[in-house]
Amino acid sequence: MSTILSLAELAESVPGGVRLGIGGVHLSRLPIALIRRILAGEKKNFVFISWGGGLPLELFLEANAVRKLIFCFSSLDIFGLAPKFREALEQNNIEIEEWSALAMAQGLHAAHFNLPEMPFQVPVGSDLMRTGTFWKETVSAFTGEPVAQARRLDVDALLLHAQRADRAGNIEIQGARGYDLALLGASKKVFVTAEEIVDVGKLGAARSFLVPKEFVTAIAEVPWGAYPTSCLPNYSTDYQELLRYVETGQRNSKIQERSAPPENRNGNALRAEPEATRKTFLSTCARTCSSALTPSILLFHQIGSSSSEWTIDELMAVCLSREYDNSSICSVGSVSPLAMVSYLLAKKTHAPELTIIALNGGFIDIDFHPMSLTLAEPLEFHTAKVCWGADETYHWYYQQGRITHEVITVAQVDVHGRTNNAWIKSKGKVLRLPGQGGMADVANLHKNFILYLTRHSPERFIGVVEFCTASRSLLTDDERKQAWLQPGEVRLISDLGMFELDPTEKIFRLISIHPGVTLDDIRTRTGGEFLIADPLPRTQTPSENELRLIREEVDPFGIRQLEFVPSRDRVALIQRILDAEANLVRELEASLPARSEPLPVIT
């Protein structure tokens, strides 16, 4: 039976030097308060285990508390690359194991089921499988077909934040679950912070998952324990606080470069919890539903152009949206605003029955909603037909070949359709990138492998990548059918044109050229040779209605532009978006009655 402790006691119960799993997903329900308290105790030498390292990993690396990292991906979401992660890997400060996402799920399941390994589909085409030690290739005892085996991945201690727990020690998780259940099954001890502790029999909210007390070691009641990340339906992610954290970290890095004294290098620590007015704001965000965001309200707070001329981000969004129909099942990958705009635009126009799976497999079949930073997760939370974990979505959708599209962008792609999101050379240096996440697996598993490049250049669209994180190697219809997968296409849409991979020649063919672009432009800005369709059509431009919908209803705050502006301008654009969203939410907040329990939904 689990024990109820104070936060200080809970943190003290977590030993240093252990294999440590971190619950939550992206900027949702991360156990930040518990992490901060553990690190304040100066515990070190952890083996950090997480699909996406992100903010928790940055905190552990800042404290010099990690000796080994087991991961699939790490970034700071829309804020860009994770600086401490990059520094640690570029300088070889820690040992790493980089897994494919499906392999990590199966490794955790092996520990859960008390087995030495678990099988998964071989991610054919990824160099990660050539260099990684987390798996071995075997053959089926029944058919002789190649099978990948992920080795058992045990976790000594899991840090988890939950919405509620009861006095017996059972816990309740609402919304997207990431790898929480897989980590729970693989963990010897589970340490949980919860927003509130209630009487026995009070758990069981809609679309929640209950974990019995036998699987929980200890619990502490910590309101706002995930802050500045979200814990719905209580509060949304505080992007303004995260922006402050990122900006301060950037300034401190510059100070350190000038060898400033240590007393001038601090100040970028996260706030423990927001002030009262900010709490009200974030709680309002958490309760907001799409029906509150009427076209007139969105138009009043809109950022962007009212020109009749299209921009390249709008053209690319429209091109992508035309790839889908009512039968499409589209999954949203990490940090892909343009992809999400294209899904929502298709759902608003020609494909209203399109299924969107958001928050890395956590929200199944969300309704249409306007793009937002602060409001996106609440809008999806309130309309998702099912709330799942990422591993469940892999098993039910990807491994069965049900996903038709997961549109993604990468740092590099070559003319053979091989991508690189791990390491690149730039100005004589080797730079670390976020990683492949789940791309190594899904490149073959979903029907269509659609890539996009917002800045087509010889450095990004090259002849041959030095390291391939993911590629579609099962190309022909026969190869895919033999693997019980749907035949599909490999396409690349850039700011210059559209390409399709020839399954026989295994090289991209230019199939459409954007207005105002010449063939010489594309040849000059491509680092390798490609095929050319004959005849070569011009890309169809957005219609007036498509432009209106993108600007006024799909993406009125211009979030898609975060993928197009130079990195030096990203912070300013994020601030503009957050200011516009804050003004909108304050307008909604003024119309709300006083807060009551449970939290009402704005309709």
Residues 378 and 486 in one domain: no
Q: Which residue has the higher pLDDT, 542 or 336?
A: 542
SS3 (DSSP) at 38: helix
Number of Cβ within 10 Å of residue 595's Cβ equals 11
Strand ranges (DSSP E) for 391-519? 408-409, 412-414, 419-420, 423-426, 429-432, 449-453, 461-462, 490-494, 497-502, 507-513
Confidence at residue 593, expressed as pLDDT on a 0 to 100 scale: 46
Confidence at residue 602, expressed as pLDDT on a 0 to 100 scale: 38
Number of domains in the chain: 3
Q: Distance (Å, rounded) from C-alpha 110 to C-alpha 181?
A: 13
Checking if the pLDDT of 32 tops 50, the result is: yes
Checking if the pLDDT of 394 tops 90, the result is: yes
Residues 536 and 460 in one domain: yes
SS3 (DSSP) at 76: coil
Q: What are residue 325's phi and psi, to 5 degrees?
A: -140, -170
Give the DSSP letter of residue 389. Answer: B
Look at residue 25 and tell me if it is in a domain: yes
Look at residue 601 and tell me if it is in a domain: no
Number of Cβ within 10 Å of residue 458's Cβ equals 12
Checking if the pLDDT of 264 tops 50, the result is: no
Q: Distance (Å, rounded) from C-alpha 190 to C-alpha 170?
A: 12
Confidence at residue 599, expressed as pLDDT on a 0 to 100 scale: 41
Confidence at residue 298, expressed as pLDDT on a 0 to 100 scale: 86
pLDDT, tens digit (0-9, with 9 covering 90-100), for 43-96: 999 999 999 999 999 999 999 999 999 999 999 999 999 999 999 999 999 999
Checking if the pLDDT of 255 tops 70, the result is: no
**Are 36 and 43 spatial neighbours (Cβ–Cβ below 8 Å)?**
no
Strand ranges (DSSP E) for 514-593? 531-532
Residues 204 and 65 in one domain: yes
Checking if the pLDDT of 507 tops 60, the result is: yes
pLDDT, tens digit (0-9, with 9 covering 90-100), for 350-391: 999 999 999 989 999 999 999 999 999 999 999 999 999 999
Give the DSSP letter of residue 545. Answer: H
Residues 309 and 453 in one domain: no
Checking if the pLDDT of 591 tops 70, the result is: no
Q: Which residue has the higher pLDDT, 97 or 593?
A: 97
Checking if the pLDDT of 258 tops 90, the result is: no
CATH number at residue 167: 3.40.1080.10
Length of the chain: 603
Checking if the pLDDT of 303 tops 90, the result is: no
Checking if the pLDDT of 550 tops 60, the result is: yes
Confidence at residue 313, expressed as pLDDT on a 0 to 100 scale: 97
Average pLDDT, the chain: 92
End-to-end CA distance of the chain: 41
Confidence at residue 254, expressed as pLDDT on a 0 to 100 scale: 62
Look at residue 271 and tell me if it is in a domain: no
**Are 336 and 77 spatial neighbours (Cβ–Cβ below 8 Å)?**
no
Classify strands 66-73 and 46-52 as parallel, antiparallel or unpaired.
Answer: parallel
Using alpha carbons, select from 213, 211, 206, 214 the residue that is nearest to residue 162: 211
Q: Which of 498, 515, 541 is the last residue of a domain?
A: 541
DSSP 216-255: --EEEE-TTTTTTSBBTTTB---HHHHHHHHHHHHHHHHH
**Are 547 and 242 spatial neighbours (Cβ–Cβ below 8 Å)?**
no
Confidence at residue 418, expressed as pLDDT on a 0 to 100 scale: 97
pLDDT, tens digit (0-9, with 9 covering 90-100), for 144-167: 999 999 999 999 999 999 999 999
Residues 378 and 327 in one domain: yes
Look at residue 232 and tell me if it is in a domain: no
Q: Distance (Å, rounded) from C-alpha 513 to C-alpha 496?
A: 6
Residues 350 and 426 in one domain: no
Residues 395 and 434 in one domain: no
For the chain, what is the radius of gyration of the CA atoms? 24
pLDDT, tens digit (0-9, with 9 covering 90-100), for 442-459: 999 999 999 999 999 999
Residues 97 and 164 in one domain: yes
Q: Grade residue 263 by pLDDT with cuts at 50, 70 and 90.
A: very low
Using alpha carbons, select from 224, 234, 21, 207 the residue that is nearest to residue 112: 21
Confidence at residue 601, expressed as pLDDT on a 0 to 100 scale: 40
SS3 (DSSP) at 461: strand
Which residues are CB-neighbours of 595 under 8 A, at least 6 positions away? Answer: 280, 283
Q: Which of 164, 186, 221 is the last residue of a domain?
A: 221
Confidence at residue 207, expressed as pLDDT on a 0 to 100 scale: 86
Continuous segment of H or E residues that includes residue 282 = helix 276-287
Q: Which of 221, 249, 267 is the last residue of a domain?
A: 221
Number of Cβ within 10 Å of residue 134's Cβ equals 20
Q: Distance (Å, rounded) from C-alpha 443 to C-alpha 6?
A: 45
Peptide bond preceding 228 in cis form (omega within 30 of 0):
yes
Q: Distance (Å, rounded) from C-alpha 166 to C-alpha 195?
A: 11
**Are 135 and 206 spatial neighbours (Cβ–Cβ below 8 Å)?**
no
Residues 453 and 491 in one domain: yes
Please compute the mean of the pLDDT values over residues 425-434 and round it to a whole number. Answer: 88
Residues 100 and 202 in one domain: yes
Q: Distance (Å, rounded) from C-alpha 299 to C-alpha 314?
A: 18
Look at residue 260 and tell me if it is in a domain: no
Which amino acid, residue 527? G
Look at residue 318 and tell me if it is in a domain: yes
Residues 340 and 316 in one domain: yes
Please compute the mean of the pLDDT values over residues 474-490 and round it to a whole number. Answer: 93
Q: Show the domain range for 365.
A: 288-405+542-558
Confidence at residue 267, expressed as pLDDT on a 0 to 100 scale: 46
Residues 497 and 552 in one domain: no
Q: Grade residue 466 by pLDDT with cuts at 50, 70 and 90.
A: very high
Looking only at Cα atoms, what is the longest distance across the chain? 71
DSSP 200-213: TT----TTEEEE-G
